[in-house]
Each structure stands twice: as C-alpha cells, then as structure tokens.
Structure 1
C-alpha cells in the first residue's frame, strides 16, 4: 500500500529524487562508498517551511525475499544539505534503493543496480 504513494522521476528534471552515486561493479565483501543526494541537478529548498527531512538507504540482494535497511539519515532544515555518505559492502548483486521525504511533497525514490564480482 505504501508503494502507491512513493514518487519517482528523472533527477535531472525533478529536485526531489534521491540520486545514488556508487560504483557499477564492486568486489564481494569489500567496502565501498555510496553517496545519496537530493537536488543533484535542481537544488531543493532548504527552508523550515520546505525541506528534505530524511533519506533512507536500502539494499535488495538479488534473489532475496527481503530488503536490508542500511541507514536512516535525518536533516535539520537550513543547517544541513540533504547529502549522505555511507561505506557498505555487498555479498551479491544488489539494487540500492534510496527514499527521501520532503515535508511538502512526500516520499520519493531513486535506485541503482550494483554488480558484485568474486
């Protein structure tokens, strides 16, 4: 049910979509950096009355019946940009999924596939 309320789009034309920057291919169980930002091409307002309140980052391993929450990152309006960096490792090919929450425009989703090599 929640899925019908999550919006997505092209981050070059929509300032709410979380953009995931990570390598396309990583080595199994080796740490790598992931950056998630909102407003990559079109800056999002960072005002008390209109801001990104939080970003959540997930990994969906290939063939798994579950999703793993990597972390939730909350922001203070006017004091922080909605950008996070996390250092993670994966065991198998995965889809990274980011959710962001705008206090006016709701939930937004972005994703990136990451291939894992031995």
Structure 2
C-alpha cells in the first residue's frame, strides 16, 4: 500500500479531522488559515489529538506543490494548557493556484483538503 492511499478526505459525523482552509488574496499576498475542528471541535487530549498541520501551495502551471508551513502541536492538556490546531501563514505570489492542508490525528491518521487560490 502506498502512503497516499491512507490519506482521508471525508469526516466522521461526531468529530472533525479534515483541515478547513480559508484563503484571502490581496496585493500579491495569499493569507492562508488552516484549522481542524472549525465546526465541531476535535478532541485535544494526551490520548487523542491533532499532532501537526502542513500547508502547501501549488502555483498554476507548476507540477509540484511547495511546502509553505509545517506546524506541530505539543500541548494536549498538560497543566490545563491546550493547543488549538489552527495555523496562519502568508505567501507572497502573483500567481493563482491551489492551497493544500494535511493534518495528522494520532488515532485516525492523515487527512487532506484543498482549495483554489
């Protein structure tokens, strides 16, 4: 089995894993926000959590996406501190393209989403 065959894109009814992506274009910048659990919060405990989110941008006409951000979440309830799996980044480009976000749940694996930018 290939790793790409393990990436999921459809969510469960009771909890969310697929990253939601918001993109704003202005003055040659792409303002990107990726969040897991926007509508229904994902658990964030030592036993069950989103460990990381990676964000990629594939410019129009290019063959491969470029990794523009990699974010790890380390606080899952230690000392009553919880990391919310939400990231923001800004990319300088005049090109359109596609933004991808990949997230990893320590129990349910890899999850992907993409939007046109």
TM, length-normalised to structure 2? 0.85
Mapped partners of 1:90, 1:69: distance in 2? 14
Moved more, 47-56 or 81-90: 81-90
Mapped partners of 1:56, 1:11: distance in 2? 21
| Aligned residue number for residue 19 of structure 2 | 18
| Aligned residue number for residue 40 of structure 1 | 38
SS at match of 2:95: coil
| Aligned residue number for residue 65 of structure 2 | 67
SS at match of 2:10: coil
| Aligned residue number for residue 107 of structure 1 | 110
| Aligned residue number for residue 4 of structure 1 | 5
| Aligned residue number for residue 92 of structure 1 | 95
Contact 1:11-1:40 within 8 A present in 2 as well: no
- Count the aligned residue pairs: 111
Give 5+ residue unaligned stretches, structure 2. Answer: none
- For 1:55-86, what per-residue CA distance to the aligned partner results, in whole angstroms no more than 9, with x for missing partners? 00001112212110001000022321000011
Contact 1:54-1:75 within 8 A present in 2 as well: yes
Contact 1:58-1:97 within 8 A present in 2 as well: yes
Mapped partners of 2:19, 2:104: distance in 1? 9
TM, length-normalised to structure 1? 0.84
Mapped partners of 2:116, 2:13: distance in 1? 19
